Amino acid sequence: MIWLWISIAGLVTFFTRYSMVAFVNPKSLSKTTRKILTYVPSAVFPAIIFPAVFLDKKGFFVSIENPQIWAFVIAVVVGYYFKNIILTIATGLISFWVFSYLFH
């Protein structure tokens, strides 16, 4: 029974968010609104990434020896210079594994 309610809650959440995207005609938005909406991913992404990299489970900042910080820095540098998402993800993962091995 609990899975039914979880599924219903998931569907309601999905459709309320999807309706905002599916039923809005982009041509009906002003040029300024469309320009502003291009910045939304850039504003949301750091809000998701920052806590995952720099905060522990209790909400405190992690130490500089944390492998997540070093992997993040390397991934940002690779992403900035190469502009390749697959290479950035692979480099971040590999550097995280290497630093996890070195720091532990």
pLDDT value of position 85:
93
Would you tell me how many other CB atoms lie within 10 Å of the CB of residue 75?
21
pLDDT tens per residue across span 13-38? 999 988 877 888 888 889 998 898 88
Distance of alpha carbon 10 from alpha carbon 4, whole angstroms: 10
- Beta-carbon contacts of residue 55 (< 8 Å; ≥ 6 apart): 61, 62
pLDDT, tens digit, 9 for 90 and up, residues 2-12: 999 999 999 99
pLDDT of residue 67: 94
d(CA 40, CA 77): 22
**pLDDT tens across 64-75, in order?**
989 999 999 999
**Closest residue by Cα to residue 37 from 21, 50, 51:** 21
Confidence band, pLDDT 50/70/90 cuts, at residue 53: very high
